[in-house]
Amino acid sequence: MKTPLIIEQHFHGAYGINFNTCTTADVVSLAQKLRRIGIGSFFPTLVTDSPENIKRQVERIKNAQIPEVLGIHLEGIFINPEKKGIHNPQHFLPLTVDNYQKIEDDFIKIVTLAPEFDEGLIDYLKSRGVKVQAGHCTGWGNVDGATHTFNAMSPVSHRGISSALSALVNDNVYAEIIADGVHVSDEALRLFFKSKPSDKVILISDSLPITYSNIKETVFADSKIYYDGKSAVSADGTIAGSTKLLPEIIKILGKKGLFKAEYIENTYRYHGLEPSGEIEWDDDFNVVIPIE
């Protein structure tokens, strides 16, 4: 099987590199490592931080000036404290245009936010060509996508509106899913893939900087994170993110009979991009070799 090179649109780092603290050289080095395993491009994802630190990191990442880096995914600052996950609520800001302009940069291409708190920010972001995704939220709104469906959002309910339910039933909206075997159960995965049109599925890793490294303890989003070989959690047991990248997650899905090559193509369509290369997979869903 051949597919386009993978796009990671939601991940916080890997191989010990943290996008919230990395240098420009780190980004270039990481891009080289990712390409060797079939990931051709990515959106470095910044977790909640101070406006000053976010602006610093956007500039550092942008300065890499390499085609693999497609722009920043800003996850945090504008989310719901009830669904904060690992994010530090001390940095949260109301969803206003003025607050966004504190960190605004044309290199920010995706913003995850809580639509229920919107004060005009969604329309502003859309007018600027930024993809708006509902995540770490309890509501819904005029969004382009859903961030890590099921995780850190109000669950499916048979009464009223919930974020997860809206993500599943709105066929015109793209929806991310973390299929690493930790974040979402197999039954929930089957519900997701049955509910979403196949051309609206976005596979993500949401990987942490400790992914594919020897790091067992680290600080992420101002919290101490512990990795036990299976999952990475804070001291109170909150899952901090994944410890796998998409090639490994695709292998997991393939063995469950849940993977379609279209899922890789969807991320290109979502962002209006053309594939920059191909990868070949063997029958066990291992990446054979990138094809330039």
> For the segment 230-264, what is each residue's pLDDT rounded down to a tens digit?
889 999 999 999 999 999 999 999 999 999 999 99
290 — pLDDT class (breaks 50, 70, 90): low
> For the segment 55-76, what is each residue's pLDDT rounded down to a tens digit?
999 999 999 999 999 999 999 8
Q: Which residue segment(s) compose the domain that 164 sits in?
A: 2-291
Task: List strands edge to edge, sheet with 278-281.
Answer: 2-4, 278-281, 287-291
- Distance separating alpha carbons of residues 101 and 32, to the nearest angstrom: 32
pLDDT for the residue 78: 98
Structurally, the chain folds into a number of domains equal to 1
- Distance separating alpha carbons of residues 77 and 159, to the nearest angstrom: 29
The alpha carbon dihedral of 230, 10, 143, 174 has a sign of negative
- Distance separating alpha carbons of residues 28 and 287, to the nearest angstrom: 22
The CATH number assigned to the domain holding 92 equals: 3.20.20.140
